[in-house]
């Protein structure tokens, strides 16, 4: 995988290093990324620039970015099969975002659900970056002439505005950007909070008990599942409407143990939630154990991780610069002469 053109469709996706990687991110996204990398040309990013919409501790942000890279690889992503890189190491993301800001309408951004939700939760920090977040996301996607963007149902709006921006630009300057499609894998669970089953499991959850983290210790995982919200009655039955709590736990157990909902219902017929939660906790502990151990080993090998992110940035930059040069030519910028396309990456 060297960033050169292939016959495979191109996929782009990324996760912020704004907190520890969650079980929801692994089961709902990264596990699918590993599968997709076998048949698609994939670019997977640690989107540290997006993390700045909320205040970050600089040292913590750097540490989490490196840890997340180690966890990506430990989860099964192979740098030889996919381009894995850190967003801020490819300046073209910020450069294209500014251009696209000038082709995005204020009204479009003001209607974005995520801006409304995050503004309501962070009234003391409603910054311009939070408002223009979808434009940077569009730049992330369009730089690589992406065909497919793996998203959950709740993220389709971001792909839609990306298509709108690209379509507007193409309408003025010709065929510059490929129009990406949202890609919702058939296999993959949407994991909800353990304490609020109506909300997606998220590292920004106000209740830390709602999340399981990839690097969490076994006893902490077991304790979190014991406290997880279930529903009235004691039957382990999949019914997202009437039994959202236990249905969410069944989603997790299904993904962790490779069992269907029917098999799970049969296994725990006549048994209470206590038995189910105990077995679920054990299954998740064993699912995450090899990932945690491998991530810890990789995190100790800083030289190897540095090599991975440097090579990833170089590969990503080659593809990104090709698109950016075309954009700059179309809008009337003077072509850069003898300027390095991929500045050296320093710690």
Question: What is the set of active-site residues?
Answer: 118, 200, 203
List all residues 6 or more positions away from 298 whose beta carbon is below 8 Å from its beta carbon.
Answer: 70, 73, 74, 304, 305
| Axis-axis angle for helices 92-101, 128-142 (nearest 10) | 110
Q: Give Cβ neighbours of residue 179 (< 8 Å, ≥ 6 apart).
A: 163, 166, 167, 170
Phi (first) and psi of residue 18, to 5 degrees: -90, 0
Dist CA 33 CA 46 (whole Å):
13
What CA–CA distance (Å, rounded) separates 267 from 236?
Answer: 9
C-alpha torsion angle, residues 278, 282, 284, 286 (rounded to 10): 180
Judged on CB neighbours under 10 Å (0-12, 13-18, 19+), 103 is: middle
Task: For residue 22, list its beta bridge partners.
Answer: 213
């Amino acid at each position: 995988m060297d960033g050169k053109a292939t016959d495979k469709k191109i996929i782009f996706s990324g996760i912020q290093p704004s907190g520890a990687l969650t079980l929801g991110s692994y089961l709902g996204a990264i596990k699918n990324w590993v599968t997709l990398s076998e048949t698609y040309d994939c670019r997977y990013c640690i989107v540290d620039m997006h993390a700045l919409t909320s205040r970050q501790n600089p040292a913590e942000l750097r540490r989490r970015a490196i840890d997340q890279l180690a966890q990506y690889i430990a989860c099964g992503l192979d740098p030889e099969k996919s381009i894995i890189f850190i967003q801020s190491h490819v300046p073209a993301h910020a450069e294209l975002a500014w251009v696209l800001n000038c082709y995005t309408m204020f009204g479009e951004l003001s209607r974005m659900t995520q801006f409304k939700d995050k503004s309501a939760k962070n009234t003391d920090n409603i910054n311009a970056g939070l408002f223009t977040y979808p434009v940077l996301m569009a730049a992330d996607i369009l730089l690589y002439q992406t065909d497919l963007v793996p998203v959950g149902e709740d993220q389709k709006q971001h792909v839609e505005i990306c298509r709108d921006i690209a379509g507007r630009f193409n309408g003025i300057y010709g065929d510059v950007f490929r129009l990406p499609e949202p890609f919702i894998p058939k296999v993959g669970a949407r994991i909800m909070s353990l304490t609020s089953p109506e909300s997606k499991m998220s590292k920004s959850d106000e209740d830390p008990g709602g999340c399981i983290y990839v690097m969490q210790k076994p006893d902490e995982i077991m304790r979190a599942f014991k406290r997880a919200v279930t529903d009235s009655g004691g039957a382990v039955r999949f019914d997202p409407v009437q039994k959202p709590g236990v249905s969410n736990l069944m989603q997790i157990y299904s993904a962790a143990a490779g069992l269907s909902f029917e098999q799970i219902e049969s296994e725990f017929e006549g048994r209470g939630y206590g038995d189910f939660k105990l077995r679920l906790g054990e299954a998740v502990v064993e699912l995450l154990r090899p990932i945690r151990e491998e991530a810890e080993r990789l995190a100790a090998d800083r030289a190897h991780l540095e090599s991975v992110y440097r090579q990833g940035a170089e590969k990503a930059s080659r593809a990104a610069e090709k698109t950016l040069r075309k954009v700059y030519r179309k809008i009337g910028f003077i072509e850069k002469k003898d300027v390095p396309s991929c500045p050296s990456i320093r710690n």
